Every structure is written in structure tokens, then in C-alpha cells.
Amino acid sequence: MRRAFTLIELLVVIAIIALLLSILVPALGRARAQAKQVKCGTNLRNVFRAFTLYAGENREIHTAVWNNYALRWQQLDANTNYLVQPWTYNVATGQPTAGRAYWAAHLDPLLGVYIDPKFYRQAPGHGIGPMTSLPGWENTRCPEAQYTLRAFRTFGGVELRHDPYTLYATYSFNGVAPGFDGIPDSGHATLFYKGPGGARTPGRIGRVKHPGQLIVAQDGSEVMLDGNGDTLVQFDQWTNHPDLSGDERQQWIREYFRHPAGCAVVWLDGHVSLVSKQKAERERRRLFATYNTDRGVPLTWYSVPY
């Protein structure tokens, strides 16, 4: 004679399953977060390799000129998207060429992205069709990125969505430059310097004597870091900004610390690490203890002594 389960036995089984789920679900969540963190680090290493290859081909001059645009593509019509022209730096003339794309767009060919000149054409039959990304762009996308500051995803006065417009433009570049935003003019090496005509000009990476202490790129919601309150050791530029809602004032900070262990950073010697929010806050307090301010001073991690 077959015996059916009693109600108590069923409840016991359900309770055991619920207990196992309560143990396994958080563990699975941590494993997924860890996998995304590893992927982010791999992306930053790939970008850094392209960065150094570009510099090697251009007399050690590192990258495109300073700019604060986050877009990679724009829409012409429902069936045609086209690439936004990147800035590039002409080593021969010492001048930039016009463009408005994300700072890493000029590295695409070195990241395995196939670029046809017609992709930039704003005409039917040209561009990239209805696509919103190209193979290889995943190198400039942090898997945990959810937001880009609105100021940097505006085109022609129109505010665009982070997803899909800036989904593949989620790493911030160290754009701190002496003589701008109160940064001291001398004594410290940075990736940019004040060049002819007073423009922020990319420097030679070989002149930096302590590359393991200088950030190249990192997680962030502002694509080009100026040192005016948008670095890990300041962190207040947008906190009370009238153009941002209350939620956005928290979200822009969250984008710097997307991973449980902190902000993913690639340094000029090529190593990748994570800077915790606690470590960043300790360094900010040290700046205040030393200078009584975090403005107009040499910024740890964004400038290094000569």
C-alpha cells in the first residue's frame, strides 16, 4: 500500500528548500558580482594595451585630446545610426582634429573594432544601420555600469538615455592637467599638460617616473576627470548640483564604486586594482589634513611627483 506525504512532511521539505535557497542565492549573487568585476578588470587591461600601442606609434603621445563627450554613435533616422567622429591628436602638427566622440573611440582599431569610413556618413545607406554597438566595444563597457551623467550624453541640446547611447563609454580617463581647475602648474607629472595656446595637451607617458602611482582610467560616471571635484579624492562636484535629482546625486557616486570591492582602476604601469570607498575617503581626509582643502592641490593618484 503506497503511503502519501503528510502535511507536516511537506512543510518540512519546503522549509529545507527555503533554507537552502537562502544560503545559495546570496552566494550566487556574489559569484555573479565577482565575475563582472573580473570582466571589468580584463576590459581595463585591454584598453590600456591599446592606449600604450597608440602611444608607441605616436612618439609616446598617449591619446586623443582632452574632451568630455560620452557618445559613440548618433541616430539619423529609424533605420540609420552613424558613428560620432573621434578627436585625434596630430603629432606632426601638434593640433587636434575635430570630433565629439568618447575619449577611447580612437583606440577602436587597436581593440579589434572594424571601422569602415562610411560608418561616419550621415546618409541613408551609410552609417551602421540600426545597430547600437559594434563588436569590440565591450572593452569599454563595465558590466555593472548603469548611468552616465546627463551633461555628457547630450547631443544637439537633446538629452539621450545612458542605455543604449553611452552603454559602451563607461570608463573615465584621467584628464587632470596642471594650470586647469586650480591644479598646480609645476612639480607633478600628469597625463596632460598646458600646451601651445593654453590648451590641454596630451603628454609623453615615458616622462612619468612613478607610473604605478598614476591612474590612466577607472570606473566613473563622468568620462573625463578634471580634478574639480570629480576624482576619487574629492568627490563632491555633482553632489548638490541643481541640475541633478536627488536620486542622481547618489547615482553618480555609485558609478565610481560599481563593484563590492570598490572602483576598478588601471594604472600607468598596466596593473589593475580596486580602490575601496573607505580608502578613497582616507586619502581625501589626508589631503585636507595636509593642505586644508582638496582643491588646487596635487591630487593623489591623478598626479605624481617628478
Contact yes or no for 221/181 (Cβ under 8 A): no
The whole-number average pLDDT for the span 128-143 is 96
- How far apart (Å, rounded) are the C-alpha atoms in residues 69 and 48? 20
Average pLDDT over residues 141-167: 92
Mean pLDDT along residues 252-259 = 94
Percentage with pLDDT > 90 across the chain: 54
- Report, in this order, helix, strand and coil percent for the chain, each rounded to 5: 35, 15, 45
Distances (CA, A) of 156 to 245, 252, 258, 268: 22, 23, 30, 35
| Count of CB atoms situated within 10 Å of the CB of 283 | 18
SS3 240: coil
pLDDT value at residue 131: 94
Q: Which of the four pLDDT bands, split at 50, 70 and 90, describes residue 275?
A: very high
| pLDDT score, position 181 | 84
Write down the domain spans for the chain.
9-305
Measured in whole angstroms, the distance separating CA 233 from the mean position of its chain's CA atoms is 16
Q: Counting Cβ atoms within 10 Å, is residue 72 exposed (0-12), middle (13-18) or buried (19+)?
A: buried
pTM above 0.85, yes or no: yes
The pLDDT score that the predictor gives to residue 124 is 84
pLDDT above 70 for 4 = no
Residue scoring higher pLDDT (259 or 29): 259
Residue 191 near residue 66 (C-beta atoms within 8 A): no
pLDDT in tens, 214-241: 999 999 999 999 999 999 999 889 988 8
Q: How confident is the model at residue 18, as a pLDDT?
A: 78
In the chain, the N- to C-terminal Cα span, in Å, equals 88
